[in-house]
């Protein structure tokens, strides 16, 4: 791939992130070097370093991009049609399915997730906050419509997210894979009972 004239910085960054993600899936996150990424794009490592100061910045950007895709899907559900209960169900199950597809089935990507968790990358707290915000939208609308009992939507979002952590957290998705009960559907039903009732 040759460089086009005056490519916008954002576009170049996107290309680098996409190439890095592909390599992380193919040869693994640890084994991929900046030189590999540059070679895949037909550019020099020095050119990659114009956009990212270090490999660690590329790692974070790949992780952020994968999480953003999930967040966008969840936000669409949160703002979509249907009762608050239905949207809460759809949101948690979509989150579970997307995380499982991204981080569990793909063993090579799971290594990156392990590193992100162990090294506590800042993108994790950001992602948790963004999922919380989606849950908050649903709970706020449910409280407004009277479907749910009065409750601070921020607290409600944290409660549902924490109660459902076994279906969100990549490590727990692996660790609890053999625990069929409770299913996410059973857990969401349990949370909905709590949300519907003020006491």
- Please report, as ranges, the residues that interact with a second copy according to CB under 8 A: 117, 155, 158-159, 162-163, 165-166, 169, 171-172, 175, 179, 181-182, 186-187, 190-191, 193-194, 196-199
Distance CA 103, CA 74 (A): 17
Q: How many CB atoms are closer than 10 A to CB 197?
A: 9
Q: Which is nearer to a second copy, 10 or 198 (CB)?
A: 198
Distance CA 117, CA 119 (A): 6
For residue 101, which of 70, 56, 143, 58 has the smallest C-alpha distance?
70
Q: Which is nearer to a second copy, 25 or 196 (CB)?
A: 196
Q: Which is nearer to a second copy, 79 or 155 (CB)?
A: 155
Distance CA 180, CA 142 (A): 29
Distance CA 90, CA 95 (A): 8
Q: How far is the CB of 151 from a second copy (least distance, A)?
A: 9
Q: How far is the CB of 156 from a second copy (least distance, A)?
A: 9
Q: Which is nearer to a second copy, 69 or 175 (CB)?
A: 175
Q: How far is the CB of 136 from a second copy (least distance, A)?
A: 13
């Amino acid at each position: 791939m040759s460089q086009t004239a005056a490519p916008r910085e954002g576009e170049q960054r996107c290309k680098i992130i996409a190439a890095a993600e592909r390599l992380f899936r193919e040869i693994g996150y640890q084994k991929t070097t900046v030189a590999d990424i540059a070679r895949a794009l037909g550019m020099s490592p020095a050119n990659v370093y114009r956009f990212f100061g270090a490999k660690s910045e590329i790692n974070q950007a790949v992780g952020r991009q994968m999480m953003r895709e999930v967040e966008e899907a969840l936000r669409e559900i949160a703002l979509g049609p249907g009762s608050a209960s239905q949207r809460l169900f759809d949101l948690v199950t979509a989150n579970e399915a997307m995380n499982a597809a991204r981080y569990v089935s793909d063993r090579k990507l799971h290594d990156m997730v392990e590193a992100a968790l162990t090294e506590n990358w800042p993108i994790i707290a950001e992602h948790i906050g963004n999922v919380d915000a989606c849950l908050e939208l649903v709970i706020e609308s449910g409280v407004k419509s009277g479907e749910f009992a009065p409750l601070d939507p921020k607290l409600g979002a944290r409660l549902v997210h924490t109660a459902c952590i076994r279906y969100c957290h990549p490590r727990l998705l692996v660790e609890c894979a053999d625990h069929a009960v409770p299913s996410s559907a059973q857990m969401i039903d349990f949370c909905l009972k709590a949300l519907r009732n003020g006491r």
